[in-house]
Structure 1
Amino acid sequence: MSNAQYSSREPRWAGEFLGLPETGPASAASYPRRIGALFVDWFIASGIGLMLAAGNQWLVLGIFVVMHFALLWLFATTLGKLLFRIQVVQVGGAPVKLYQAAIRAVLLGLVVPVLIIDRDGRGLHDKMAGTVEIQM
């Protein structure tokens, strides 16, 4: 398929252009699962923040970003993502590298990149980090 055909046609499913299967393990994680995982991770960060300094939302954001960075780099998932059976990998399936986890976590903390979605269902934070969220 030529680049012109690739760029003009819409994908049939999220992740098709990345070589991901339509359904099952290693397919792109759905938005409801990703949002659910995000809420669980924010709830955990909020609980830790409440124990350390009640009412300090900047601390909660910092905990959230650091938690994402460390857990994605070490385990390719966070507690919320694990609950929703999601993992983060490089495009192509390799484990996330340190710099990719850092880029992704910082951009996730900025919120706006998460709202900019490409045709394969990846947010700008995933696109810039070269990562994709897949089902386990």
Structure 2
Amino acid sequence: MVDRKDVGSWIEGPRAARAGEGTYPGQRLGLPEHGPGSVARFGRRLVAILIDWTLCQLVAVAFLGGQLGRGGAGGLLPLAVFFAENVLLVGTVGFTVGHRVMGLRVVRLGGAPAGPVPGLVRSLLLAVAVPALIWDKDERGLHDKAAGTVILRTR
């Protein structure tokens, strides 16, 4: 028989699941709790993605000449720009414009640069959005888990 206590931490979210273990995001990965090298928290990641999405929208509008609101394939252009930005920048330098502004970087587990293949896998799943909204006790989204990456603070 399944009891509420068996699923309680899952229903209450990642913080409740961690509370019983006395851990912090990244401890299982050998990362510090705070400061540079620690797992980037949700607030910083959210601001970074908002910066990136805004820039991608501006680039899309510049290329479409203001036709973004008319629907059709033009509505996918910001997503295509966002995908390209993530593949190229995360796969080469390890951060997007938003990541850089917010003091974040994407690395493989162990600290090596993300690289092109993890950058591509991560970007494909990020473009779908759902994997980025589901994360584990270390606050790594499914897109990061699939790519074997983690977002760390640089400052």
TM-score by length of 1: 0.91
Could you say what secondary structure the match of 2:151 adopts? strand
Q: CA deviation at 1:52?
A: 1.1
Paired position in structure 2 for 1:117 = 135
Measured in 2, the distance between the counterparts of 1:11 and 1:70 equals 38
Residues 36-69 of structure 1: CA deviation (Å, up to 9, x unaligned): 0000000000000001123122011000011011
Report sequence identity in percent. Answer: 36
SS in 1 for 2:54: helix
Aligned residue runs from structure 1 range 64-83, under 5 A: 64-83=82-101
Q: CA deviation at 1:11?
A: 5.6
Picking from 111, 115, 119, the partner of 1:101 is 119
Q: Residue 48 of structure 2 aligns with which residue?
A: 37
The answer to whether the 8 A contact 1:25-1:135 is kept is yes
Corresponding residue number in structure 2 for 1:21? 32
Query: Aligned-residue CA RMSD in angstroms?
Result: 1.3
Q: Which residue of 1 aligns with 2:145?
A: 127
Partners of 2:75 and 2:109 lie apart in 1 by 33
AA of the residue aligned to 2:125: L
| Distance in 1 (alpha carbons) for counterparts of 2:22 and 2:46 | 22
Partner in structure 2 of residue 3 of structure 1: none
Q: 1:66 to 1:10 in 2, by over 3 A?
A: farther
Paired with 1:123 and 1:57, the residues of 2 have a C-alpha distance of: 25
Unaligned runs of 5+ in 2: 1-17, 69-73
Deviation at 1:10, TM superposition (A): 3.4
**Any conservation in 2 of the 1:104–1:126 contact (CA below 8 Å)?**
yes
The separation in 1 between residues aligned to 2:97 and 2:61, in whole angstroms, is 18
Gaps of 5+ in 1: 1-7
4+ residue runs over 3 A deviation? 8-11
Stretch deviating more after TM superposition (37-46 or 8-17):
8-17
Contact 1:11–1:17 (CA<8 Å) still a contact in 2? no
Give the corresponding residue for 2:109: 91
CA contact (8 A) 2:105 2:153 kept: yes
How far, CA to CA, are the matches of 2:43 and 2:53 in structure 1?
15
Q: Name the aligned partner's letter for residue 52 of structure 2.
A: D
For 2:124, the aligned partner's letter is V
**Residues 114, 149 of structure 2: 8 Å contact kept:** yes
| Cα offset, 1:16, TM superposition | 0.8
Q: Describe the SS at the equivalent of 2:24.
A: coil
